[in-house]
Amino acid sequence: MLFVVGVGLKREHLTDEAKEVISRANKVYGSSKALEIAEEWIKGEKVRMTEFDEKTYRDIEKEAEEKDVAVLSTGDPMVAGLGRFFKRARVIPGISSVQVALGRINADLCEVSVLNAHSREPEFSEVKNLLVLAKKGVRLNFPGRKMIVLENLESRDEKIYEVHDFFETESDYTIVFVEVKK
């Protein structure tokens, strides 16, 4: 099985969930920095990643069909991280630089639009998909759009399903992904 594990920006950011997954893995991939942060918890084979391309990712996926493989990502795997490159992985979240930055300047994530200018010039006008944090009874009216509803994440009642066009939220802990950008 393949896990993509966020290790945060420093050792004190590691969660117990991340530590457990890392220490159970037969093989652990990561950049120098990520391996250093997680070092204490790595028990399997350690591989320093130097290539970050399609072939590397697909080879790792193949390897993970036969054993437990953890790919470490500094920060969070889904914040300009490695998560999006692996299609069949379980993602273990970690503390990202975005969260640290927002804490330092006292701004909420909902007030900002996060842009990745690591690999290209930032595009400031681009249309984005929406991620709506909602309680019960919020009406989402998006004719022609696909929505993914995520309810009660990490609880025993976690439910993920797809709807179209219109949806009224049914749980106080709902996140709805609205596909605006095709």
Using CB under 8 A as the binding rule, the residues of this chain from 77 to 116 that contact a copy of itself are 77-81, 83-84, 87, 90-116
Question: Could you tell me which residues come within 8 angstroms of residue 136 by beta carbon, excluding any fewer than 6 positions away?
Answer: 169, 170, 171, 172, 174
Q: Between residue 117 and residue 136, which ones bind a copy of itself under the rule CB under 8 A?
A: 117-118, 121-122, 124, 128-135
| Nearest approach, Cβ of residue 110 and a copy of itself (Å) | 4
Total number of residues binding a copy of itself (CB under 8 A)? 73
* Distance of closest approach, residue 11 Cβ to a copy of itself, in angstroms: 7
Closest by CA to 68, choosing from 87, 95, 43, 100, is 43
Identify which range of 8-16, 24-32, 50-58, 63-71 contacts a copy of itself by CB under 8 A.
Answer: 8-16
Rg of the chain over CA atoms, in angstroms?
18
- 49 in contact with a copy of itself (CB under 8 A): no
> In this complex, which beta carbon is closest to a copy of itself, that of residue 45 or of residue 114?
114
Burial class (CB in 10 A: 0-12, 13-18, 19+), 69: buried
